[in-house]
Amino acid sequence: MRVGIGYDVHKLVENRKLILGGVEIPHTLGLLGHSDADVLLHAIMDALLGAAALGDIGKHFPDTDEQYKGISSIRLLEHVRDLIEKEGYLIENIDATVIAQKPKLRPYIDKMQENIANALKIEKNQVNVKATTEERLGFTGREEGISSQAICALSSLYENSVMVSDSTGGCCGGCQRG
């Protein structure tokens, strides 16, 4: 089992869309960034990459590379999924928190979880997204920006195959060999 943690923050500005978890949320301000600036997905990607010891999103998607300008972070998350799979890891679960004074995010969280699960090809119950305010304290409380934190657990295909072969029901849980 491997665990990763991720954090991201972006400034709120006018004339940008607010996209969190792949959901466009109506708001007077949006997040500034080279891509769509989806802080939730950026924190999740960093957690996944960290757990797999594959660096961070800056390494894989540098903000100096024009191919990532304005790109959907859902596409980047799908690429991270491919990197994780290539290394032989399975995503066990993701738990993430978005810190924003406004807007209220509860109405959008189910869709965010669905988008994340679909992009990662995992079950929706493996993804948990929460939202909180900072009671008007700090840059998020003053509505200057939004931040997000995420943690994930990965297991390797090897770990899962050993668990199956070590089961009490035989080699694969259903036969009587072994």
Whether residue 81 has pLDDT greater than 60: yes
Q: Is 145 left (phi over 0), alpha (psi -120 to 50) or beta?
A: beta
Name the band, by pLDDT with cuts 50, 70 and 90, for residue 171: low
**Annotated binding-site residue numbers:** 8-10, 34-35, 42, 56-58, 61-65, 132-135, 139, 142
What's the pTM?
Answer: 0.88
**CA atoms in the 13 A half-sphere facing the CB of 71:** 17
Binding residues for a divalent metal cation: 8, 10, 42
Q: What is the pLDDT of residue 178?
A: 44
Question: Rounded distance, CA 72 to CA 37, Å?
Answer: 9
Distance from C-alpha of 108 to C-alpha of 73, rounded to nearest angstrom: 17
Q: What is the pLDDT of residues 22-55, one digit of tens each?
A: 999 999 999 999 999 999 999 999 999 999 999 9
Per-residue pLDDT of 91-135, as tens digits, reads 999 999 999 999 999 999 999 999 999 999 999 999 999 999 999
CATH architecture of 2-156: 2-Layer Sandwich (3.30)
Task: With a cut of 80, say whether residue 169 has pLDDT above it.
Answer: no
Return all residues near 155 (Cβ < 8 A) that are at least 6 apart.
1, 2, 89, 90, 92
**Domain map (residue ranges) of the chain:** 2-156
According to the model, what pLDDT value does residue 157 have? 78
ω into residue 103 within 30 of 0, thus cis?
yes
CB distance 138 to 105 below 8 Å: no
Q: For residues 172 and 178, what is the distance between their CA atoms, to the nearest angstrom?
A: 9
